[in-house]
Amino acid sequence: MTDKPETPDPGGDRIAKVLARAGIASRRDVEKMIAEGRVKVDGATLTTPAFKPAPGAIIMVDGKVVAGAEPTRLWRYYKPVGLVTTHRDEKGRPTVFQHLPPTLPRVISVGRLDLTSEGLLLLTNDGALARKLELPETGWLRRYRVRFFGNVAQEELDRLKGGITADGVRYGPIEAVLERSKGQNSWAAVSLREGKNREIRKVFEHLGLKVSRLIRVAYGPFQLGDLREGEAAEVPGKVLKEQLGLAANPNREKRLKAR
């Protein structure tokens, strides 16, 4: 057992990128793991995310050896209501990652859906890709179907296209189109690119509307399609190559259901 890791590789990647690429966690979460003393390189606890492990270095997280990076893979997953999008929940609530199909490898999510929201959640084994797809400059359109209680005219929803300030928070452009109404219950198709925390619920509440169901149906070019709750389907390698410029994965789309 050594007191410190072997000499780092000056030309290699930082440990945070290495672990993100191996699907352990996002770079930001890897930095937290290092601060918590959960990462070791060649038997020594790592103290800095700037360290660059040498080729062949033995990297361990929580006492388990990290395997080499696998080809980038991406899955579409139908997140049910009642699950939080986190690996660990301080309140002990059930998480997405506790209910994934058992045949999936270790994955992380691209963004989140809150406890009471459902629909499309992208999952990947590549932390660097997850971070890239979450960045605002990526500018991917997220589309939702929203059921809400209350009365509103299409003209009022159209004003959301210019952005809105609600409770002191500035939200970017939102496109909302009424689909159908029955009494005071209505459905709307909503599209946005920014995606602040609980944005749709807060904006609708600002308009005097109560959201009772929120389903994400698309994230950029990826669609929820006919997935059922708790079901996951891998994005074919050809689609990854076309949409993300990644090397094709030979695996064909396979649909999986959580137990």
Active-site residues, by number, are: 114
Structure token digits, residue 113: 């859906």
Q: How far apart are CA 146 and CA 186, in angstroms?
A: 8
Closest CA to 17 of 172, 165, 127: 127
Side chain identity, residue 182? K
**Residue 140 CB contacts under 8 Å (≥ 6 apart), including other chains:** 133, 193, 219, 220, 221
Q: Which two tokens stand for residue 219?
A: 């994230």
The encoded tokens of residue 176 equal 């909302």
Helix (H, G, I), strand (E, B) or coil at 85: coil
Strands (E), the chain: 39-41, 44-45, 59-61, 64-65, 74-79, 108-110, 118-124, 142-149, 164-166, 169-171, 174-182, 185-192, 210-219, 222-223, 231-234, 255-257
CB 59 within 8 A of CB 15: yes
Cα separation, 211 vs 234, whole angstroms: 30
Task: Classify residue 81 by burial, with Cβ atoms within 10 Å: 0-12, 13-18, 19+.
Answer: middle
Whether 124 and 110 have beta carbons less than 8 Å apart is answered as yes
